[in-house]
Structure formats: structure tokens, C-alpha cells
Amino acid sequence: MPYMQMEPEDKYVIPASQMALKSHHGSNDGEKTSLWKRKGRRRAKGLPMEGLKQKELDPNLEFPSSSCKSLTFPRRPNFGQLGTKCLVKANHFLAIIPESDISHYNVKITPEVTSRKMKKNILTELVKQYRTTELGMRLPVYDGGSNLYTAGLLPFISKEFTVILANEEEGTGTPREREFKVQIKFVTLASMHQLRELLAGKQVNNPQEALTIIDIVLRELHAQRYISVGRSFYSPCIKKPQHVGGGLQAWRGFYQSIRPTQMGLSLNIDMSSTAFIEAIPVIDFVAQLLNKDVYSRTLSDADRIKVKKVLRGVKVEVTHRGNVRRKYRISGLTSQPTRELIFPLDEQMNMKSVVEYFQEMYGYTIQYTHLPCLQVGNQKKVNYLPMEDLTKSK
């Protein structure tokens, strides 16, 4: 590439990383000064630049902030002109933005509850009791934490409700009524204006709050119909479950997310699958899980550890009481076989074996006494139930 000569009168500023200056020894003061520059690693030759001053920046010049959160769509140059038009099915569905803003409320439950499922049960009961009266026919959406949303305003700024929840005590199957105080307090109006402006192609700040609220509302509608696992929803009604072995079956489900697009607000839905324990007798599940005959053989320590790990936390229901199908959650597995298990029957510590208790109390004869029992309930009050008497709850 040829050299490019520049005169100092032009007063250009050349970054130091892109130029090299070299004095020409033996030159006179009156000799003309020149600057030589070229690309590459070759050094530019020339005389020293005398009187070359850096041009000052305009103080009114504005630069875009690196922390700018505004969100704009890149402009599309044009639409396709060649080829044949065709219709394409996609996993995107247009969603309609509500005309009114969404009201945001804070929820506080007393006594404090840590389980999100319990919190949702409390708010569900509150809506059943007060929707037609105190809630003004509004149907709020609750996120299971401290946030509640409604389309429009509730007829109060702050109000405390009393909720009586009949809940089965874990491990006993006995219904237990508990009283909760629920305070609902107005926080703010969540505006949908920015989201509408964004979808209209205007430059606005990222309307993440509005997108989050819409996502919560859509998820809550599905949570009432399907089983939620992570951020996905599953149901045996979507597609017939497939047996995959080991007492498991694959359920089809879907994952959803709300996204702004050029065409408008889009609900993106992707299919997913996960494994669920089949709704079969627990003893049959254990046989499939271990892939061995458990009906006539005892379990090894390794077998017990595997069964305990898989079944812990699984909900089951009893079958020895006819139409009374109480549900329990498995908490553990005994180290002893059923025929060796005894427990205190009363406060006088009169001991009774599990086999005798089931025979005398329910007229039920335990067949597989060589197998361990499942433990249900908490550590303070543990109940023993034989595997053959339990079925995976649907």
C-alpha cells in the first residue's frame, strides 16, 4: 500500500498506537516537517511534528451509556421477495395484553408458613370464602410467596382475613383444622403501558415487571390443572404415559415462556417429558425397581437403601380399610422385617407387634412379613405400614 503523506497544517490527531515518529537528524529548523504513515508493522518515517495540537472534544457531545436498559427491536431491512410463500406451524402463540393495569398486593400469613403449597391452599380457601363479598368478585392470582395480583383494584387498601383450613395432618391422615390470619395490602399498579409501547416498535425501558406478572398469571392457570415439576407442567391426559421400566412411566408435558416479538406478545411452548412412579402397589413397584423377586426373598442392606432413597417423600394411600383411602407421605424404611416390629400401644408402654395389631384392629393378615415396613409421619409419631397395604397415590 503506498505511503500517505499528511501536512501538520491539517492538525489531525493520530493515535500513538497507529503511528511512529522518527526525527530526521541533521535537518535545519526551517526545514519542512512531514508525517509519514502506513498500515502494517512497518514504521512510518518523517520529521518531528512541531506545533501539532490535539483537537479538543466538544463538551456537549453525548455518548450512549453502557448501562442503558432500554430495549429496542433491530430494524428489519426488508421482507423476502424470492421463493414461494408457505405457511409454517410454530410453537409460538399470540397473547393479548390486558387493557387495564394490574394491581399488585402484598400478602402476609400468620402464623408463618414456609410451604409454598400450604400458602397457596390458604389463599385458595380465602378466595372461596370471600370472593363474592370482600374481594368484589375479583379472582386474584397468588405466586406462593408474598405477591398477589388482580385485574383492577380490590375494594380496599389493606384488610385482614381469617381463614380456617382443614388439612390432613401429615402421617396420620386425620383432618385437622387450623386458623390463619391473612393480611392483603395494596402495593402499586403494575403498568402495561411500557409493554404496549415496546410492541408498537417504540424505544422504551425493558418492561420486565409486566412480563413477569403475565408469566405468573399464565403459570397459575396451568398449575390448577397439571402437575408442576420445576418450570414445566405434566399430565397423563396430554399423551398416554409410556412404561420405561423400573416401576416408572414417562409423562408428556410442556414448558412455557412469554416473550415480546415483532408480531406482538408471544407465548412460547416447548414439549418436555419426565418420569413418574406408576400408580401401582408399592410392593410391585419395589420388585420392578430392584428387578428381583421380593415376594419370597428378604431385602439386602443395599436394596433397602435404594428403596428408601426412591420412595422418601412419595405420597401413598392405604388399601386395608375398604373405601377409606387415607393418604400418607413416606418418610423412611425400617431396618427390621415386619414380623419383628413391635411398638408401644399406649402410654403404659404395653408393646404390640405390627402383625398382631393389623389382625386385631382391621382383621387384615399381613402376607409378606419378611419385608420391612414403610415409615410414615414425623420422627415424634412414626407409623408402620406394610408395603403390600400401600398403593402409589394418583
* Tens digit of pLDDT at every position of the chain (394 positions): 444 444 444 444 444 444 443 444 444 444 444 434 444 444 444 444 444 344 444 444 444 444 445 556 677 788 778 888 889 888 888 888 777 788 999 999 999 998 888 999 999 999 999 999 999 999 899 998 999 999 889 999 999 999 998 865 554 455 678 899 999 999 988 888 878 887 777 777 777 888 888 888 888 888 888 998 888 999 999 999 999 988 999 999 999 988 888 788 889 999 999 999 998 999 999 999 999 999 999 999 999 999 999 999 999 988 877 677 788 889 999 999 999 998 888 777 788 899 999 998 888 899 999 999 999 877 667 789 999 988 887 7
Report the alpha-carbon distance of residue 38 to residue 161 in Å, rounded: 80
Contact 328, 385 (CB under 8 A): yes
pTM: predicted TM-score of the whole model, two decimal places:
0.66
Q: What is the DSSP letter of 131?
A: T
Q: What is the DSSP letter of 60?
A: T
Q: Quick one: which of 277, 267, 273, 269 has its CA closest to 234? A: 273
Contacts of 146 (CB under 8 A, 6+ apart): 106, 107, 108
Report the alpha-carbon distance of residue 237 to residue 260 in Å, rounded: 30
Contact 170, 313 (CB under 8 A): no
Which of the listed CATH numbers 3.30.465.10, 3.40.50.300, 3.40.50.1370, 2.170.260.10 matches domain 282-392? Answer: 2.170.260.10
Task: Mark 147-167 as b/e (b = at least 16 C-beta within 10 Å).
Answer: bbbbeeebeeeebebebebee
Distances (CA, A) of 143 to 45, 123, 149: 71, 10, 9
Place of cell 419426565: 274
Contacts of 18 (CB under 8 A, 6+ apart): 37
